[in-house]
Structure 1
Amino acid sequence: MLSPQDQLTELVRTLETEQHVFATDPLLVTEKLQVEEGTVLQKLHRRASRIDSNGALAGVLGKIEGRLKGIMVIMSVIWCVSGFFGLFTLLQANVVNFFYVLVCLLGFHTIMLVGWLVMTLINQSKHSSNWFASFVSPSYLIRGKDDVTQAAVSLYEQQLQHSGMRWYLGRFSHQLWLATLTGMLLAIIFLLIVRQYSFSWESTLLSDQALITLTRVLGWLPSMVGFDVPNDAAIVQSRLVTDTLPLAIARQWAGLLIGSLLMYGIVPRALAWAFCALMFRSKKMRLDIKIAYYQKIINFWQRQVIDVDDFVAVAAPIAPKAVVSSAAKLVALLEYPTDNPLWWQAGLNYYDGPIEAVEDFGIIDDREDLARLTTHLDQHPLQVLLGIHDKALPDRGALRKLDQIAAHAQHGVIVQLLNNQTLETNADASRSTFNNVRYQQWQTALAARKIGLVAG
């Protein structure tokens, strides 16, 4: 899977292409990062983190990741407990057939491990992650119809379909087998501590010598790490035992049982788990910065002035000066309140003649407010004075509201830029109280729409 930073960066890309409104304006963040140091990837990560300034996107990604890991932990615990109680049930008799118990412990496990190894060697499990992707689809783990949740789920599903996920699936499968074998090992140790067992073997076809040879081969690897292995006399003595064996011989068989479970079960499975983990890391997804979205951002950051002497500065767009008419006025605030209920008086002071009336419409925030205002403007010939707080961004939503108000105001719209603590309305004061970058953004937007700005 992608790293958490890459996931956040990809999620920002997906949402921005779908015109999502972020906590922080992506354009402002991109412009500020142009002069900062760092590699392209570092700056892209930094950009995504700043755009997600309230942590909402990272929170959704973290929730999905946490629930995926939680499922894996719960399944591992269940497999461990099932292995423990499975072996606990198997070892209820005091006289235990050694080879029967060993086959029950390692028979199916060995077949599955060899099968996985063969499939890996012939490379037939490329698409084995498909069923895993459907089994643990993020859409089952997190509910939500908002665009952030839907985009995050889609991002995770794309990662689960990646070819490198075969190693992720293999690692998870080996993890479950390790949990099962660990549960069996704990059960064996516990039962051998609290109970005294006798071990035997029986066979119709195999002779004593054949079982001696088999036991030597089986015990070679456990004996290399210090586990006891029954000698020839102990093997012959253990055939068809129906009562208690000498304690020393029973301990040798117990040591061979534990050693076989470790060396032929847990150790090979742990090596397979480590191999899958290394392969998954080597095949890990990387952020593709060659796609057009990232290339556009990178090209903007790398844009430089080659010859300063030939550079001609382009004047920033300036909104036309507001013309206050004698028509009746409607004053309203766009999205944000202000501390002074008479904020509009400073704007109307630019007109020396009499004004018919002033109607305070309040705050225009949601669709209902906008619909109510446009209906009112259609029925009454008014000039609208719109107050815009310094917190307001000239994003798509705000500009869409401004365009609709301008389309319905029969005597036009004028704009007054506000600050929560000050009420200066001339151009210099607006620059001092309004953020310079934000001020110029509103100037550009108003100039494009030919909407007047209250200025001295």
Structure 2
Amino acid sequence: MAQPSSFLDATLTEAVRSIEETGPLEDSQAMREAAGAGTDVAHRIAQRARMLADRTGLASELARARAWAPWVLLALVAIIVIAGLSLAGNVLGGGERRINIVVALASLLGLHLFTLLLWLIGLLAPLGSFNASLGWIWMALTARVAGGQRGQAPVLLRGVTRLLGQARLLPWALGFVSHAIWSLSFAVVIAAMLFALAFRNYTLNWETTILDPDFFVRAVRWLGHGPAQLGFPVPDAQAVRSPTAAASSQRDWALWLTGCIVVYGLIPRLAFALLCAAVWRIRRNALSPDLSLPYYRKLIARFDALALPSIVDADPGSSPHPALRRLPQGDTTDTLMAVGFELPDELPWPPAALDMRGARAMRIDGSAAARRQLLDTLSQLRPRRVLVGCHAASSPDRGTERFLREVLALCGECRLWLFGTASDEARRRWHTWLADSGLDGLGAGDALEPMLQDWT
């Protein structure tokens, strides 16, 4: 039941998360490179995890585990087959050639039924019974062989079990391995028994000290109901009560015993193995980290902080922008205005150069009330020139466009100063936005002094 590389990425991601539960790893370079790996958040997180896994040795250990997994499984299967053959030999009685059918059934089906019951209960309530399953033993042995005593295979093991647990696939995945091994074991036992019973003469009977013979009559009839549906014979009451069955009845006893092993051992394990495989196919797409966990939310926030701001809330469509309106020169006064628009608190306003030119300064936070107050002031003063200072590292939007158009309509000339520290790309973004918004008629610049040379 191998998964594509996305499952391997998810395993490494969960393993890195397990490591960072004891303290964060140094990941500045990994964060920067992953931030440029596309816009998909899950892909960025997986890329970061791959880089950290390469650095910490998790990736190479996972590759070793994948290489060792089939060999460990084959070794485990070989052990189970040998155990099955040994159990079949014990049931067949060795040199005595006498088979107690009650002991045979208990030996062949007892542990199987007990572990199957634990697995079924574990589907409804996680009781920790899976830690003793053959599937868990296979995973643990693979981790031990691949990583040795000082490797990081336990971290990978936690990552895999977390993924399986989140997708509600843990009992089904481990159950598939366990049921498949049990099925192979029963197939070997049945084949060994049929071979021995076909070419050697055995005596099958039951023994008791305190039980009534009618108990065995009812038990044989009840247990034989399932095998009878498949054509296996069921010994009659007379054959059951007879302390030494006739030679003609020995064949019925042997086939009844074989039928019970097939119906109550092999068939349930095969059926549940197929069911586990079907559930795996249905739910395997859910094998991915839960990005709603606090650990991943912090990573997403860090990626957002690294991403360059982009122009938001852009007008849809390609409709032409309205023409810029401004006051005629004859309707303006000699007032000079300097407006700081949505500036961070750490940026001072107004700069000293504006104070020297006698500009009237205002600072607004972008709220509706502050904008109304500014527009009322502009409509009263009708300034000849207005300088609007915007934070260069911020992202322009439709609100910024509406504000600039409203200011320009109430003055003779408006210029835009991109204020504060920002990257060249951020400043180019503003100039591109001005052109796209039809505001390229505004004078926009990054340096204050050149913009104020002709302002008196």
User: How high is the TM-score relative to the length of structure 2?
Assistant: 0.51
Does 1:293 pair with 2:299?
yes
Does 1:254 pair with 2:254?
yes
SS of 1:199's equivalent in the other structure is strand
Instruction: Supply the AA of the counterpart residue of 1:255.
Output: L
Residues 1:109 and 1:12: Cα distance change in structure 2 (over 3 Å): closer
Instruction: Supply the AA of the counterpart residue of 2:157.
Output: Y
Does 1:189 pair with 2:298?
no
Percent of aligned pairs sharing the same letter: 22
Does 1:97 pair with 2:104?
no
Residues 1:48 and 1:302: Cα distance change in structure 2 (over 3 Å): farther
SS of 1:96's equivalent in the other structure is strand
- For residues 175-206 of structure 1, what are the alpha-carbon distances to aligned partners after superposition, in whole Å with 9 as ceiling and x for unaligned? 55444433322321221233233433344555
Instruction: Supply the AA of the counterpart residue of 1:297.
Output: F
1:295 shift after superposition = 4.0
Q: 1-side partners of 2:129 and 2:109: how far apart?
A: 28
Q: 2-side partners of 1:154 and 1:180: how far apart?
A: 31
Q: 2-side partners of 1:84 and 1:144: how far apart?
A: 33
- Aligned ranges 1:32-431 → 2 under 5 Å: 33-34=38-39, 39-42=40-43, 44-45=45-46, 58-68=59-69, 70-91=71-92, 92=94, 93-114=96-117, 117=120, 123=125, 125-126=127-128, 129=131, 136=141, 138=143, 141-143=146-148, 150=152, 153-160=154-161, 165=170, 172-205=177-210, 209-236=214-241, 239-241=243-245, 245-246=247-248, 249-271=249-271, 286-290=288-292, 291=296, 292-297=298-303, 304-306=310-312, 314-315=423-424
Q: 2-side partners of 1:161 and 1:28: how far apart?
A: 27
Q: 1-side partners of 2:200 and 2:54: how far apart?
A: 61
Residues 1:273 and 1:303: Cα distance change in structure 2 (over 3 Å): farther
Residues 1:80 and 1:30: Cα distance change in structure 2 (over 3 Å): same
Aligned pairs, number = 301
Instruction: Supply the AA of the counterpart residue of 2:76.
Output: M
Contact in 2 for aligned 1:171/1:276 (Cα 8 Å): yes
Instruction: Say which is worse superposed, 205-214 or 100-109, in terms of deviation.
Output: 205-214
Residues 1:42 and 1:186: Cα distance change in structure 2 (over 3 Å): farther
Q: 1-side partners of 2:202 and 2:11: how far apart?
A: 55
Instruction: Supply the AA of the counterpart residue of 1:19.
Output: E
What's the RMSD between the two structures over aligned residues?
A: 4.8
SS of 2:36's equivalent in the other structure is helix
Residues 1:33 and 1:86: Cα distance change in structure 2 (over 3 Å): same
Contact in 2 for aligned 1:174/1:273 (Cα 8 Å): yes
1:221 shift after superposition = 0.5
SS of 2:247's equivalent in the other structure is coil
Does 1:8 pair with 2:9?
no
Residues 1:20 and 1:61: Cα distance change in structure 2 (over 3 Å): farther
Contact in 2 for aligned 1:199/1:245 (Cα 8 Å): no
SS of 1:3's equivalent in the other structure is helix
Contact in 1 for aligned 2:100/2:204 (Cα 8 Å): yes
Residues 1:216 and 1:137: Cα distance change in structure 2 (over 3 Å): closer
Mind listing any 5+ residue stretches in structure 2 that lack a counterpart?
315-395, 402-415, 427-456
Q: Partner residue of 1:359?
A: none
1:81 shift after superposition = 1.3
Contact in 2 for aligned 1:29/1:47 (Cα 8 Å): yes
Instruction: Supply the AA of the counterpart residue of 1:304.
Output: S
Instruction: Supply the AA of the counterpart residue of 1:315.
Output: D
SS of 1:33's equivalent in the other structure is coil
> Which is greater in Rg?
2
Contact in 1 for aligned 2:100/2:206 (Cα 8 Å): yes
Residues 1:215 and 1:153: Cα distance change in structure 2 (over 3 Å): closer
Instruction: Supply the AA of the counterpart residue of 1:6.
Output: A
Contact in 1 for aligned 2:41/2:300 (Cα 8 Å): no
Residues 1:302 and 1:218: Cα distance change in structure 2 (over 3 Å): farther
Residues 1:118 and 1:158: Cα distance change in structure 2 (over 3 Å): closer
Instruction: Supply the AA of the counterpart residue of 1:253.
Output: W
Contact in 1 for aligned 2:34/2:45 (Cα 8 Å): no
Contact in 1 for aligned 2:54/2:60 (Cα 8 Å): no
Instruction: Supply the AA of the counterpart residue of 2:219.
Output: L
Q: Partner residue of 1:320?
A: none
User: How high is the TM-score relative to the length of structure 1?
Assistant: 0.51
Instruction: Supply the AA of the counterpart residue of 2:100.
Output: N
Contact in 2 for aligned 1:171/1:277 (Cα 8 Å): yes
Q: 2-side partners of 1:118 and 1:153: how far apart?
A: 26
Instruction: Supply the AA of the counterpart residue of 1:260.
Output: C
Residues 1:96 and 1:138: Cα distance change in structure 2 (over 3 Å): closer
Q: 2-side partners of 1:18 and 1:119: how far apart?
A: 36
Mind listing any 5+ residue stretches in structure 1 that lack a counterpart?
318-456
